[in-house]
Amino acid sequence: MERVRDVSLLPKAHLHLHFTGSMRPSTLLELADRYGVHLPDALTGGEPPKLRATDERGWFRFQRLYDIARSCLRTPEDIRRLVREAAEEDVRDGSGWLEIQVDPTSYAPMLGGLIPALEIILDAVDSASRETGLGMRVLVAANRMKHPLEARTLARLAVRYADRGIVGFGLSNDERRGMARDFDRAFAIARDGGLLAAPHGGELAGPSSVRDCLDDLRASRIGHGVRAAEDPELLRRLADRGVACEVCPTSNVALGVYDKPGDVPLRTLYEAGVPLALGADDPLLFGSRLAAQYEVARRHHGFTDPELATLARQSIEASAAPEPLRGKLLAGVDAWLAAAP
């Protein structure tokens, strides 16, 4: 059997990881026991649930599980623990840069308000970065199920705290609801403040949701974006503009976007020249972290080690990592590829 290199040793950037979804299952079990929160079977370990979020019931179940898990994060120490452990897991998987995505309004009720919640999160990220050596920053994401005025408030807050570790602004939740153009002002505020625009699109909805992110929100990255594979002209636009898609293969299968890992159109996107950044999305619910996404590319799509190295380079180049770190990581990719398997 041909020997292959260990993908957990491949330097890479992680650009699509949600806050609560980054939690270790063991941590969730401990916190739930501490706070007397009853966890459904899907959150108590074992086989990751098949959520089939492409239908109404599946998406509701996914949101319900996420909300239950989030309810176990109640104190600043809980936040610090989650962030530190997320950083440790990323380091173990070879990540040198992590942009963790969070909607601070979701944690505000437990942490004394919106601004205190954001400051606690940013302090936790700063501490975890120093303790683990992982370059780590925050992408603030608005919820497209809520009013666009709330998104504007978040965008202004994100810009205000840009010097504290916020690098981007996103738009999460079900893109079948809440039109992208309704959030154009929030994204303009974020862009004018120097933040990169990284809304979700092309996951549960088709290519039109990716086009809306490009045209209405002037996205520099697309969260997911896999459905762009259904539109050759859209693929050309993404490739020509160098807009990276944050592809999360395990998540796509768990949520029912595709039936099996081999159906995720990684090859179509890659060969069209679209920059890709593989991400784990919500490991707590989907059961696998960053390195496992590279294994999906290898095992189910036949990506060679040089091609995996290209994916890692693309993730680094699409990130907000500062130039010295970016250069170090890219050199590490070259070294990984040069080493004998």
Q: How far apart are CA 258 and CA 260, in angstroms?
A: 6
Return the sign of the alpha-carbon dihedral for residues 152, 157, 159, 162.
negative
How do 221-224 and 200-201 pair as beta strands? parallel
Residue 73: φ, ψ to 5°? -100, 100
222 neighbors 242 (Cβ within 8 angstroms): no
Cα 244 to Cα 102, 117, 128: the distances in Å are 20, 30, 27
Question: Three-class SS of residue 333?
Answer: helix
Rounded CA separation 137/281 (Å): 16
Count of Cβ atoms closer than 10 Å to residue 223 Cβ: 29
Pairwise CA distance, residues 272 & 323, whole Å: 27
Q: Of these residues, 203, 233, 271, 323, which one is catalytic? A: 203
Quick one: angle between helices 290-301 and 305-317, nearest 10? Answer: 140
Would you tell me the crossing angle of helices 323-338 and 305-317 to the nearest 10 degrees?
Answer: 180
- Annotated active-site residue 271? The verdict is no
227 CB-near residues (< 8 Å, 6+ apart): 202, 203, 205, 206, 207, 209, 210, 257
* Catalytic positions, written as ranges: 203
